[in-house]
Amino acid sequence: MKIADLAEKAGLPFEGDGNLEVRRIRGIDTAEAGDLTFVQGEKFVAMALASSVLAVVAEPDVELPGKTVIRSDFPHLTLVRLTHWLHPRDAPIPGIDPRAVVEADCQVHPSATIHPMAVLAAGVKVGPGTEIFPGAYLGRGASVGGDCVIHANVTIGHGCRLGDRVIVHAGSVLGSDGFGYLQHEGRHVKIPHLGDVVVEDDVEIGGGCSIDRGTYGSTVIGQGSKLDNLVHIAHNVEVGAHAMLMGQVGIAGSSKLGRHVIMAGQSGVLNQITVGDGVVIGPKSVMTRSGREAGVYYGFPARPQREWQRAIAHFYSLDKLVKRINRLLKTTNKDEE
């Protein structure tokens, strides 16, 4: 595709050869002639100038002599948006493959695609433009909105509801029973989970995630939230809009996350905790109490970043302190002798 056409699609100005053909998008470290890349920062400008790449997305004030440049205030974002034009996703063929299992009373929009070996139980609803890959299972009465992608071997339990433009990657389970038991006479008595999972619009769920259904109400994943691989969300959790939950995050039952919460890898939230808007929980950290204001928290129990850093610095100074005390004791003992 010509640079002039790409710039037009992005609604941005360009400088240089508008007829220059671009075949793919690559990072600056691997880009070569025929590729489109972006630069942001002096280090990457130098790399671009030293490379054979001819087409670059850059900020308005960046000088790149000899290059054809699309000018953008947000080069990386522009490159991401242009990816959809240079690397379009294969358009699925609408319809239900005869090898799929679609039970009675299902409502599948004619523009949806149901691949072979997908299973739709009775009463399932699938919206327009949605693609259901092989091996996916949608339980009785589940619903999936428009323009969703449900990848291979995903399980969506009975009654669970997904909004529009939701992506669920392979192997994830939405709507499994929560880990709820009563202790009675030395035995674990299972609590039936009669609720569901509600996934709002524009959510993306990574591979191998597990989201439990509510006990009586809903487990909710808020609009625009993004879940990495291997995230576990327990029953009755409410995740606010635009959360970012990274790999191996765990959120215990009935906790509530505010808007724009970020949880780094292997971090967690204890049960029945409320996490406020804009809170960032660092890697391997655990939020153990409610009421924290927006900010960055580390440790177990999680505490404000500065406080945690001071505590760690003191901890790693203990060895020096012990050695110093031992030296003082030896000196004192010699003086006494």
Q: For residue 64, give the CATH number of its domain.
A: 3.40.1390.10
pLDDT tens per residue, range 130-168: 999 999 999 999 999 999 999 999 999 999 999 999 999
- Whether residue 31 sits in one domain with residue 160: no
What does each C-alpha distance from 121 to 125, 187, 199, 334 come to in angstroms? 10, 34, 19, 84
Task: Kindly list the catalytic residues.
Answer: 235
Q: Lowest-confidence range among 52-66, 162-176, 263-277, 306-320?
A: 306-320
CB 2 within 8 A of CB 21: yes
The count of other CB atoms within 10 Å of the CB of residue 188 is 10
- Report the pLDDT value the prediction gives residue 330, as an integer from 0 to 100: 77
What is the reported pTM?
0.90
Q: What is the pLDDT of residue 323?
A: 85
* Residues 48, 113 within the same domain: no
CA distance 236 to 158: 16
User: Is 129 in the same domain as 273?
Assistant: yes
Please say if the pLDDT value at position 271 is more than 80: yes
What value does the mean pLDDT take over residues 166-188?
97
Among 66, 86, 106, the domain boundary falls at 86
216 and 81, same structural domain? no
pLDDT at 176 over 80: yes
**In terms of domains, do 146 and 284 share one?**
yes
- Residue 277 is classified by DSSP as T
Tell me: do 139 and 70 sit in the same domain: no
Residue 229 within a domain: yes
Does any domain span residue 119?
Answer: yes
Domain count, the chain: 2
Residue 121 shares a structural domain with residue 204: yes
What is the rounded distance in angstroms from the CA atom of residue 80 to the CA atom of residue 332?
68
Average pLDDT, the chain: 95
Report residue 104's pLDDT band, with 50, 70 and 90 as the boundaries: confident
Range of the domain at 36: 3-86
Looking at the structure, tell me whether residues 103 and 67 fall in a common domain. no
CATH number at residue 227: 2.160.10.10
What percentage of the chain has pLDDT greater than the value 90? Answer: 87
